[in-house]
Structure 1
Amino acid sequence: MPNVGLGLRREMLDEFCQTTPREIEFFEVAPENWMTLGGKFGRQFKQLTEQHPFFCHGLSLSIGSPEELDTQFVKNIKTFLDTHQIAIYSEHLSYCSGKGHMYDLMPIPFTDDAVMHVAKRIKQVEDILERPFILENVSFYAAPSAQMTEQEFVNAVLNEADCKLLLDVNNIYVNSINHQYDPQAFLAAMPTERIAYLHIAGHYQEDIDLMVDTHGADIIDPVWSLLQQCYQLHGVHPTLLERDFNIPATTELLKEINQIHSYQQQAQQALSARFA
């Protein structure tokens, strides 16, 4: 299993089709942004999927929507995954659509009914995709009609759906500031055995008590610290650097990618020393 990856953007295609730095061990893409591409972009994407491991992270499945699941959309995703032999598919614990598909991630009410609703839909998706469903904890800015905490809700959905977790470390930090909880406690409460892989990213500080999850800035020290704690608590899992805009040169991205490598190596050495 590759250990450190990067979210692939179209503007990176020319460079990475020529040469991909060895430090980038896998790529992640949103299937919605790639599955209708043909021409030059389509050829370049196919070249990279033939040469490197890929994960898929969806944007608009809308797993929590009150509308019926768009099964044709899920079938289109399956075709894309099959075509490029991609086994890993994750999505956000949120919803973004009524009729149609949008990219705005809206909070699901933290209720028992929502737990059952989301879990049922996850099983539908798994049946169509013929792959495990991996669910990401999301950043959110309001908690309408909440009957439980975010931590309780995430764990309840994971247990009811019996699915894996994409643990976004930056989202934990952002939510901990916006909703005033202990990020270390939230991190420790996540089920180790369900973690499939990790996300880490930068964000924007709107105010002293308001962080916005943007994926458009460098990672800050408290988020790096949380990643280190994650490795110590849950072991080393594949970790993806998300950078969606304000994208610097690859040499700059590699600084953060190599930071992830370094923390993973430190965690593995500490684990080895503990059992030596």
Structure 2
Amino acid sequence: MRAATLNTGLGLRRGLLPELLAMDAGAVDFLECAPENWIAVGGAYGKGLAQLAERFPITCHGLSLSLGGSEPLDLHFLDQTRHFLDRHQVRMYSEHLSYCSDDGHLYDLMPIPFTDEAVHHVAARIRQAQEQLGRRIAVENISYYAAPYQAMSELDFIRAVLDEADCDLLLDVNNVFVNACNHGYEARAFLEGLPQARVTGMHIAGHYDEAPDLKVDTHGAPVKEDVWALYTLACVRFGVQPTVLERDFNYPPLAELLAETARIRSVQLASGGRRDE
């Protein structure tokens, strides 16, 4: 039986597949996967995905569309993605506000220059992707450690892209915290500057404390208390939005991940935020 709401989710990773297949149906509201990791995958993995898709709603968070790249968008990949989204009745699809290819995949999320020219370039590609996919998409604010060029602030850049592309925002709360520490801005003010109507989902994850002014977004550790506090503020400002706990390696027992997803649900309930279904 599919859940009626998409409030609390967990990342669907191959390394977690056996545990997810044995998970109780009510443990989370939905699972999120990267479509490029599952398109045309058969065998045990493909069977496992099909079984999970029968029990849980699936959302998708892309890794390789390269919205900020200079090469033309991969239309064949977009067609494959659209088929995957349709096949699994995916209600939410998001991608990173970054680029990850240049004459081949770079296997990392690279920051885009914060310029008017980049706003126009990225917004046009987002509109093209939305048309090809036949649906609205959300873009995610990424963590970055050096900026190619900043003619405007990160916040102003994101706002400009959202307006010109007419797309949604997947708010990664951990990335806001990491960037605020690394680049010296106030995380709460950043949240308050984002347009409320554009936020349609959130991510939360762990990071590594290299130094007080250097945090590394790893997705390989439990969520820090400061990020939980920021997530609470985000729920108050933006209401209860579908929120995914991301964990990409150093997997603990599933019970520990579910304790974190339960905390997401508790924060949502305590925040006073509301979301229309």
Do the two structures share a fold, i.e. TM-score over 0.5? yes
Structure 2 equivalent of residue 150 of structure 1: 154
Question: Which residues in structure 2 correspond to 1:88-167 (within 5 Å)?
Answer: 88-167=92-171
Structure 1 stretch displaced more, 229-238 or 170-179: 229-238
What is the rounded CA distance, in whole Å, between the counterparts of 1:233 and 1:160 in structure 2? 23
Structure 1 stretch displaced more, 169-178 or 44-53: 44-53
CA contact (8 A) 1:174 1:213 kept: yes
The amino acid that maps onto 2:24 is: T
What is the rounded CA distance, in whole Å, between the counterparts of 2:112 and 2:168 in structure 1? 19
Identify which of 31, 34, 53 aligns with 1:30: 34
Identify which of 197, 201, 208 aligns with 1:197: 201
| 2:250 counterpart SS class | coil
Is residue 2:231 matched to residue 1:219? no
Structure 1 equivalent of residue 247 of structure 2: 243
Structure 1 equivalent of residue 85 of structure 2: 81
Identify which of 37, 54, 57 aligns with 1:50: 54
Shift of 1:220: 0.9
Assess, with a 3 A threshold, how the Cα gap between structure 1 residues 122 and 21 changes in structure 2: closer, same or farther: same
Structure 2 equivalent of residue 3 of structure 1: 7
Deviations 1:167-209, CA, capped at 9 Å, x for gaps: 0000000000100000000011111101111000000112221
The amino acid that maps onto 1:37 is: V
Shift of 1:21: 5.0
CA contact (8 A) 1:56 1:89 kept: yes
Identify which of 60, 67, 80 aligns with 1:63: 67
What is the rounded CA distance, in whole Å, between the counterparts of 1:100 and 1:72 in structure 2? 15
Identify which of 173, 178, 183 aligns with 2:182: 178
| 1:240 counterpart SS class | strand
What is the rounded CA distance, in whole Å, between the counterparts of 1:56 and 1:16 in structure 2? 17
What is the rounded CA distance, in whole Å, between the counterparts of 2:138 and 2:237 in structure 1? 20
What is the rounded CA distance, in whole Å, between the counterparts of 2:145 and 2:19 in structure 1? 37
| 1:206 counterpart SS class | strand
Deviations 1:207-247, CA, capped at 9 Å, x for gaps: 22111111001111110000001111121111110011111
Shift of 1:19: 3.3
| 2:229 counterpart SS class | helix
Shift of 1:102: 3.8
The amino acid that maps onto 2:169 is: L
| 1:104 counterpart SS class | strand
CA contact (8 A) 1:26 1:54 kept: yes
Assess, with a 3 A threshold, how the Cα gap between structure 1 residues 29 and 188 changes in structure 2: closer, same or farther: same
The amino acid that maps onto 1:79 is: H
Structure 2 equivalent of residue 19 of structure 1: 23
Structure 1 equivalent of residue 268 of structure 2: 264
Structure 2 equivalent of residue 274 of structure 1: none
CA contact (8 A) 1:177 1:211 kept: yes
| 1:96 counterpart SS class | strand
CA contact (8 A) 1:60 1:102 kept: no
CA contact (8 A) 2:207 2:215 kept: yes
What is the rounded CA distance, in whole Å, between the counterparts of 1:101 and 1:71 in structure 2? 16
CA contact (8 A) 1:133 1:163 kept: yes
CA contact (8 A) 2:25 2:55 kept: no
